[in-house]
Amino acid sequence: MSIEMNDEDQAVILLNSLPKPYENFVDTLKYGRQTIKLEEIEAAIIAKDVESRSNGKTDAEGLIVRGRTEKKWFKRNGNGNNRSRSKSKPRSLKCYHCHKEGHFRRDCPERKNKKRQDSESENGDADVVSEGYESADVLIALEMDASKEWVLDSGCTFHMTPNKQLFDTFQSLDAGKVLMGNNACCKVAGIGSVKLKLHDGMVKTLTDVRYIPDLKRNLISLGVLDSNGYCYKAQNGVLKVMKGSMVVMKAEKRNGLYLLNEVAIIGTVAVAAPKILDKTTLWHRRLAHVSEKGLMELSKQGLLCGDKLDKLSFCDHCVYGKMIRVKFNVAKHCTQSILDYIHSDLWGPSRHVSMGGYRYFMSIIDDYSLRVWIYFMKTKDETLQKFKDWKVMIENQSGKRVKRLRTDNG
């Protein structure tokens, strides 16, 4: 079967595989942070191991020295209140932040200086988020600037935005759907170009930008930029997009995202769009999408401020609101004995071949006893023969016959 493990799952498996002496250390890493990254967990485990070995050597030397000192002190004074200190040789420690030796990551001066600079640069604006803020503050800040900021994303296949007013050129069309990270599908309602005013005052045009109304953020695809001859490099919390030796875009890393604080020029599509709704549509929406007949009746009674109403245009929201989902009737069947009703299904092909070379499997379930049989197959055409073999076997063992078989014709 095909199983994909993300970075967080691998980190949790690594933590759970540590021995019992690391129990408190594991709890701190698992429940002391909101997200778990495999790279950070590996660095923390290595640092913990080096620190444990260093402390173990120091403690051992301290016990030996103190034991010898106490023995001499007993001979002189007859009591054991003396305390001595031992000095152990400094270990060659390596910082996993600056990659220099002599200190741990938590004591790294470069890391402390960066945190201090980040806190000093905080000016109270909504688009500035420091690491010390609560998660609620971060979410509020991100939500407020979602329409202005552009996220440089390596996971999207093309540029996309939910803001129609940003388009300079626009064509309404049904361009399929986009599969999001949570397996939800969002409809592509159009395609066009968007102009961005960059940090140096230059204007850059993004072409083939998809208009997705259900999207929450403006996304720039790094894959598309790479296909167009651009290269990008991330270092010290800044991602630079370059064309040759010239820096075209600069994005700062905030809350794990590379955000591009460029000004999007309002496109001609938004300028040409009507600013004010007609009176009929406006009253229709104000009165909770009342019918056209109801609007005319209210207008005759003079309850609409004397506004003259025309024929009501088509309203998408009314159509969507009146739609109902088609119900699926519950299948009813009563089985009195085994093999009266058999369910079967075929799964495959798997992207990864098993050790035995199998890529398919067929499941057979008896509705009465709920017993399950699984047959693995290398190719799909083995299905019929596997079922015939099962049918002969089960009918000989039970002395009964298969009466009904249900499949999805797969």
Catalytic residues, which ones?
153
Question: Alpha-carbon distance 107 to 396, whole Å?
Answer: 74
3-class secondary structure per residue, the chain: CCCCCCHHHHHHHHHHCCCHHHHHHHHHHHHCCCCCCHHHHHHHHHHHHHHHHHHHHHHHHHHHHHHHHHHHHHHHHCCCCCCCCCCCCCCCCECCCCCCECCCHHHCHHHHHHHHHHHHCCCCCCCCCCCCCCHHHHHHHHHHCCCCCEEEECCCCCCEECCHHHEEEEEECCCCEEECCCCCEEECCEEEEEEEECCCCCEEEEEEEEECCCCCCEEEEHHHHHHCCCEEEEECCEEEEEECCEEEEEEEEECCEEEECCEECCCHHHHHCCCCCCHHHHHHHHCCCCCHHHHHHHHHCCCCCCCCCCCCCCCHHHHHHHCCCCCCCCCCCCCCCCCCCEEEEEECCCCCCCCCCCCEEEEEEECCCCCEEEEEECCHHHHHHHHHHHHHHHHHHHCCCCCCEECCCC
Mark 115-135 as b/e (b = at least 16 C-beta within 10 Å).
Answer: eeebeeeeeeeeeebeeeeee
Q: Are 396 and 370 in contact (CB under 8 A)?
A: no
Q: Are 49 and 96 in contact (CB under 8 A)?
A: no
Q: Which amino acid is at 236?
A: N
**Assigned token pair, 404:** 């009904």
